[in-house]
Amino acid sequence: MPSLDQALRAALAARENLLAVLHAQGTDCYRLFHGSQEGAPGLTVDRYGPQLLVQSFHQPLEADDLHSIVGSVEACLGQPLLLVYNDRSKSNSRIDRDPTLFQAEDAALEDMVSREWGLNYRVRGRHAGQDPLLFLDLRNARGWVKANSAGKAVLNLFAYTCGVGLCAAAGGASEVINLDFAQGNLAVGQENGALNPELPTMQFIQSDYFPAIRQLADLPISSRRGQKLPSYPRLQPRQFELVFLDPPAWAKSAFGTVDLLRDYQSLLKPALLATAEGGTLVCCNNLAKVEMSDWRAQVLRCAEKLGRQVQDCQVIVPAPDFPSQDAKPPLKTLILHL
Ligand SMILES: C[S@@+](CC[C@H](N)C(=O)[O-])C[C@H]1O[C@@H](n2cnc3c(N)ncnc32)[C@H](O)[C@@H]1O
């Protein structure tokens, strides 16, 4: 087993060309070390613009290791970065609890702006949520949306901080609707819109997925065992030329359960129906234990059952800053041309 220092140096060397490409395309946020695949399971090192985010998931880092990571990355990039270290190895821990190990400067914990595909994004190294407000492994899918949205009405489902919507707006979409049930996430999406004032404005719908997509798809909304449902925004049935479906692995609400392992169909079916004939549905599954071949077959079967013929099905893989030894990255993305 190589030392952490050796593994990190190898990872940085392997990214030399990629980093040049990313910088040239206006991207300054990427994964520098993907520990599970590069020799240190449970450790990730990400750059988000001016910030370096180191996260440990299995055990806390030694102070020497942390300092040597920062030294190697700064030498590789030729610039200083503001370090945030989140030790998440204890239950739900997001803070460097041991001040003798490391304490982030106040400046490092402030809200920052990072760039991807030439667009500005709000990033925050430490907050109540899981992620610094932008999932880096979805970069290639966002790039695809930016390149394929011109003139299209785009529906971004499970929008989170609306990165996909922002790419659609930048790609010339005629209309962009971002849908998520978390107002805090949509508020960051609005901030992302404001950070790119040259783009047309996006729309935001705060709603649970199930009632929203079922109304758009013109399907009934049924309550479970006759229970009274919470109120939800009313929407007219309609279809979109481009629909992006990127749900979390599991989430339960009063309206239904998002369960990517056991029931992808109940998410996919209404999303397919809300996609126009001749339109495109991009769908994702980020659950590592789901095999691409099984999931792809399930997706195609669901479309067939609905009588929606898939003209073409393409795969988007994460960029090489998310290497995968077995060529089975956890995040799987399919583009269905209907
Ligand atoms: C994994 S993130 C999606 C990532 C996102 N597509 C992106 O581009 O980064 C999950 C999002 O789903 C939202 N969510 C989870 N369950 C939901 C539901 N039942 N209805 C609407 N949104 C939901 C969460 O609020 C969160 O923003």
Residue ranges of domains in the chain, CATH in brackets:
2-110 (3.30.750.80), 136-337 (3.40.50.150)
Q: What is the DSSP letter of 39?
A: T
CA of 248 to the centre of ligand 1 (A): 6
pLDDT of the chain, 338 residues: tens digit per residue:
569 999 999 999 999 999 999 999 999 999 999 999 999 999 999 999 999 999 999 999 999 999 999 999 999 999 999 999 999 888 766 676 777 888 889 999 999 999 999 999 999 998 877 789 999 999 999 999 999 999 999 999 999 999 999 999 999 999 999 999 999 999 999 999 999 999 999 999 999 999 999 999 999 997 767 788 999 999 999 999 999 999 999 999 999 999 999 999 999 999 999 999 999 999 999 999 999 999 999 999 999 999 999 999 999 999 999 999 999 999 999 999 99
Q: What pLDDT score does 154 carry? A: 99
Query: What ranges make up the beta strands (E) of the chain?
Result: 29-34, 43-48, 51-56, 82-87, 112-116, 119-123, 153-157, 175-180, 203-206, 240-245, 250-253, 256-259, 275-285, 312-316, 332-337
Q: What pLDDT score does 67 carry? A: 94
Strand bridging mode 332-337 / 256-259: unpaired
d(CA 176, CA 243): 10
List all residues whose CB is within 6 A of at least one atom of ligand 1.
135, 138, 158-160, 163-164, 180-182, 185, 208-209, 246, 248, 251, 253, 258
Q: Read out DSSP for 155-220?
A: EEES-TT-HHHHHHHHTT-SEEEEEES-HHHHHHHHHHHHTSTTSPPPEEEE--HHHHHHHHTT--
Q: What pLDDT score does 1 carry? A: 56
**Ligand 1 atom with least separation from CA of 185:** 27
Name the closest-CA residue to atom 4, ligand 1.
Answer: 160
Question: Coil, helix or strand for 104?
Answer: coil
CA 80, distance to chain mean position in Å, is: 26
Cα dihedral across residues 257, 261, 264, 265: positive or negative: negative
Under the phi-then-psi rule, with left for phi > 0, alpha for psi from -120 to 50, and beta for the rest, what region is 131?
A: beta
CA of 249 to the centre of ligand 1 (A): 9
Phi, psi of 5 (to 5 degrees): -60, -45
CB 84 within 8 A of CB 126: yes
Name the closest-CA residue to atom 25, ligand 1.
Answer: 182
* Strand partners for 316: 333
- The C-alpha angle with vertex 235 and arms to 212 and 150, in degrees rounded to 5, equals 85
d(CA 209, CA 179): 7
Q: What pLDDT score does 327 carry? A: 93
CA of 162 to the centre of ligand 1 (A): 10
The pair of structure tokens assigned to 217 is 């798809």
